[in-house]
Chains A and B, each alone.
Chain A
Amino acid sequence: MRYLIAIFSFVLSILPAIAQEEASTFVEKGAIAYERGDFEGAAKAFNEALEQNGSNASLLYNLGNAHYQSGNYGQAIVDYERALFLDPRASDIRTNLEMARNATTAFEEKSEPAIWEKPLHWLSLNEWFLACGIAAGLLAVVSLMRAFLSGRKGQVSLRWVTVVSLFVLAIGVSALILRQGELDRAIVLRPGTEVRLSPFSTADVVATLREGQGVQIQEEHEGFYLLSKGWVSKEDLQKVCADS
């Protein structure tokens, strides 16, 4: 029994390493295919690496490049936006994302945030969530310490921690409220994607969307997403963030 447990533990410990090794192999294959001009082959290899390893900003960025070079701009925009979700301050991802948007003329209604909004975009959504979580935890600790500690000892330090935590929490919550739409953001994958009146493939078309255009998903219903103007087939859209 002890041998079995030991073997099981060993297998469990080396599995991630094996997966990472395989992912590295696919990354190399993808890079070679990309250099050769086989962009579809490169995209396939990078996708395999993502499946083996899980999401990674650099991998997604490389995949975006491969899709861009294949002329698959909608998918490239999805990849770049996902890479930015994980690495929000990377200039190369932003540059290539802008190029992909220009390639499809999928101009964003509001591509650049206002000056006062810029600090709220310094961190990714997850970084803001983490900052808010840490600030809330610190406030909880400070609050409990103030409740149980008597006397003036350490009160000044606690006050500073409270002020800083409250500041971070206020900024973080503002950023998350302002950017909450990013949670349900999706990208149009195909040119001329049709927006229908009802969630049926035979329903009347009320609008068309450009490839690469960013949209906000409001609801899901049997193979269709509800946008502000109507319903779009799920096959024509891809969400940037993973589902809950």
Chain B
Amino acid sequence: MKSHSQFLSGAIWSLAVACAAFLPAAVLAADVSVSIQPSTFGADQGAKLSVTVNGGSSDQPINPPIPDGVSLRPYGKSSNIQIINGSMTRSEAQNFVVTADKEGEYTIPSFEVSVNGETIQTDPVTFTVTAGGSAPQSLPGGSSAAPQGNAPAADSQSLGFLEMQFPARDREHLYVGEMAPVRITAFFPPRTRVQLTSQPRPEGPGFTLHNLSEEPEQQLVEKDGETYRAVTWYGGISVAKAGEYPVKVSLDATVMVRDQSGGRSARPRSPFGGSFFNDPFFDDFFDNAFTRVIPREVTLSSKGDPLEVRSLPTEGRPADFSGAVGKFSFGGFKLPADATTGEPQRVRVTVKGKGNFDRMSAPVLEPGDSWKTYAPKTEFQGDDVAAFSGSKTFEFSAVPRKGGEQRVKLTTSYFDPDTGKYETIASPEVPLDIAGEDLSSGANTMAAAALDPKQEKSSQKAKAPTQLAPLREIGVISSASLQPLLYHPAFQISVGLGILGIVAGFVIGGLRQRHSEPSRVAARAAQQREREAIEAAAESSKSGDASVFFDSARRALQVRLGSIWDKPAEAITLSEVRQRFDGDTAIVQFFSKADAVSYAPAGSISTTELDRWNRLLQETLANPSYSVKRPDTVPSNAS
């Protein structure tokens, strides 16, 4: 009973302590505060925005509203518990990095945060963005751009600028349709990371950029005393309408700038208090290593000098002029050597030069009334990265309409922007004897029908069925695959197995053949005989049979020496062994002892001695030079 009351009293005290500890936090109303530090910062920097919830935690993710031109990036959470005079306060802060594209004063308006089921309204926060860094107001390239606005950006800390250059030339104007080569260069600070998010594009109506190099050149360049990373494109620009326009191009990029919101205090100072780690070198090093980078999307625009664009004159315009502006000439042509009226011929001609090749149409075959020509197949080969100069090859079909001797040539027209006049060029004339009679217009249509898909179907239908092989009668419809067998897994596996079988056959056959070679067979037999002799010697040494032992030992040595000297084992005698080895070597002793015991009974040799002789035999056979001396352990009287 006593224990029950003690338990009850303990429980009540515990409850009281818990209430004392947690009641203040539960009873105190939660609040939310918003702060920004620093409240004034540059356009190329950032500030830390903190949304702090005191006395609770947010029920939902906090997403402050942002004004136009401002970007917000989550920067982590922090929480804090404070107990002051027995009163516990819990706070939680959600941090963000704030950046702005332009200078100005911005306000993050009031927003709602849900804390412990209660909705709390925050106060608005105002901050000021100044012009970034120490950037001068004028740009060295005359460009007008920086981070999507007027914020200056020109020195090594700026975000970049764009230039468009025309090569030096005598005139200050362009003609409509003329393609002028341009070089577009984007300059970025050398140590920033840059990601290009678009190709350079023309600003304003009527301009078109052509054949921009897909992979721009990159290099470090000096400009007005500053170093930049220059990214250069080559291409052509053309204008579709006459007038005076500012020629301007722009480019989107993402530049990684270092987040200055943490300042240098973000790096822990040296715990040793010395000056070594506080050296400016380490400031740069640690800033680069620890400071976050913020992606800044920028649009760079070139300055946009006005350019006069003139219309092409109507006076003197050739009938076959197709809009080609530049300077062109014939690079070669191939006409048929002979032809017959009504039969299609292939004509191939190349036009080379500089200008807008896309407007150059196929040269005309003359005399025009003698030929009917069809739509060409074209191919352009550029000579430079911008495809401003090059050659265009036309290949087309032509049907001679008139028979007899003709002098045939090709002509084409273009507008020369340097002289301001139209030019017509012609290939050398080629004499051609065309067989057959002149075609009437009806016959002409019939002959051409086979060439021109756009001709009336009726004429084709009248001709085609008489020549086209008829439909096939299909009885049983079998099915076949249009997929090449090479791609069928079953075929691939079969061929793989076949190749494996061939290789396996060769390998196994080779091994078997090698195994059955006479020399190898003989060697294996010799090894077997040697093994048997050694075993017999070992057994006889144990049994004390000296004559068998020495005979077996000699046989083992004969077999071994015979395989080395390439002689029959039986042909190796004591005299030969004596000639090749010193008299005191064990091998000579074995031979002489064996000879001795074969002619006279061996004296009494103990099994111990025979065992020593046996070990000597093993040693001799194991020694590649067989020059083992007879050791003193073998008694001399044994010989």
Contact = CB atoms under 8 A, between A and B. Distances in A.
Contacts of A20: 476-477
Interface string A229-244: 1000000000011111
A192 B491 CA distance: 39
22 contacts: A54-B480, A54-B481, A55-B479, A61-B472, A92-B469, A92-B472, A103-B453, A125-B484, A126-B485, A136-B495, A140-B497, A140-B501, A143-B504, A144-B501, A147-B505, A147-B508, A206-B387, A208-B376, A208-B378, A211-B453, A242-B481, A244-B484
Interface in B328-344: 344
Nearest to B377: A210
B499 interface: yes
Contact of A140 (B471, B477, B500): B500
Given A68-B468, A192-B375, A58 B474 contact: yes
B380 A27 contact: no
Contacts of B210: 204
Contacts of A92: 469, 472
Interface in B378-403: 378-380, 387, 397
B464 interface: yes
A139 B504 CA distance: 11
Nearest to B497: A140
The 10 closest A-B pairs by CB, nearest first: A143-B505, A140-B501, A54-B479, A136-B498, A147-B509, A244-B487, A92-B469, A129-B485, A147-B508, A242-B483
Nearest to B460: A71
Contacts of A99: 464, 467-468
Interface in B459-517: 460-461, 464-465, 467-472, 474, 476-487, 491, 494-495, 497-502, 504-506, 508-509, 512
A144 B504 contact: yes
Contacts of B344: 102, 105
B214 interface: yes
Interface string A197-219: 11000001111111101000000
Nearest to A128: B485
A107 interface: yes
B358 interface: yes
Given A126-B484, A244-B483, A133 B505 contact: no
A102 B450 contact: yes
Contacts of B346: 105, 107
Contacts of A144: 501, 504-505, 508
B444 interface: no
Given A24-B474, A105-B451, A133-B485, 17 more contacts: A54-B479, A55-B480, A56-B478, A56-B479, A58-B474, A65-B470, A96-B469, A99-B464, A99-B467, A105-B346, A107-B346, A132-B495, A136-B499, A139-B501, A140-B499, A207-B378, A210-B377
Interface in A47-72: 49, 53-59, 61-62, 65, 68-69, 71
B459 to A, nearest CB: 11
Interface in A137-168: 137, 139-148
A148 to B, nearest CB: 7
A34 B482 CA distance: 25
A53 B477 CA distance: 7
A23 interface: yes
A133 B495 CA distance: 6
Nearest to A104: B453
Contacts of B476: 20
A244 B375 CA distance: 35
A133 B453 contact: no
A207 B387 CA distance: 13
B411 interface: no
A143 B506 contact: yes
Which of A139, A141, A147 gathers the greatest number of chain B CB atoms within 10 Å? A147
A204 B451 CA distance: 28
A235 B60 CA distance: 50
A73 interface: yes
Contacts of A61: 471-472
Given A197-B211, A208-B377, A103 B451 contact: yes
Contacts of B397: 105
B626 interface: no
Given A62-B472, A140-B499, A205-B358, A133 B494 contact: yes
A141 B472 contact: no
A210 B394 CA distance: 12
A71 B210 CA distance: 36
Contacts of A107: 346
A183 B484 contact: yes
Nearest to A239: B482
B374 interface: yes
B457 interface: yes
A198 B479 CA distance: 39
Nearest to A103: B450
A142 to B, nearest CB: 7
Which of A31, A95, A130, A136 gathers the greatest number of chain B CB atoms within 10 Å? A136
A61 B473 CA distance: 11
Contacts of A226: none
Contacts of B474: 24, 27, 56, 58-59, 62
A186 interface: no
A87 B387 CA distance: 45
Interface string B441-458: 000000000110110010
Contacts of B509: 143, 146-147
B379 A229 contact: yes
A55 B501 contact: no
A23 B477 contact: yes
A24 B474 CA distance: 8
A205 B476 CA distance: 48
A56 B379 contact: no
Contacts of B502: 136, 139-140, 143
A34 B464 contact: no
A133 B493 CA distance: 10
Interface string A75-116: 000000010011000001101100100111101000000000
A206 B377 CA distance: 11
Contacts of A85: 482
Which of B465, B497, B498 gathers the greatest number of chain A CB atoms within 10 Å? B498
Interface in A24-50: 24, 27, 31, 34, 37, 49
A172 to B, nearest CB: 11
A49 B477 contact: yes
A143 B271 CA distance: 78
A54 B344 CA distance: 38
Nearest to B498: A136
Contacts of B468: 65, 68-69, 96, 99
Which of A62, A71, A136, A204 gathers the greatest number of chain B CB atoms within 10 Å? A204
Contacts of B454: 191
Contacts of A73: 453
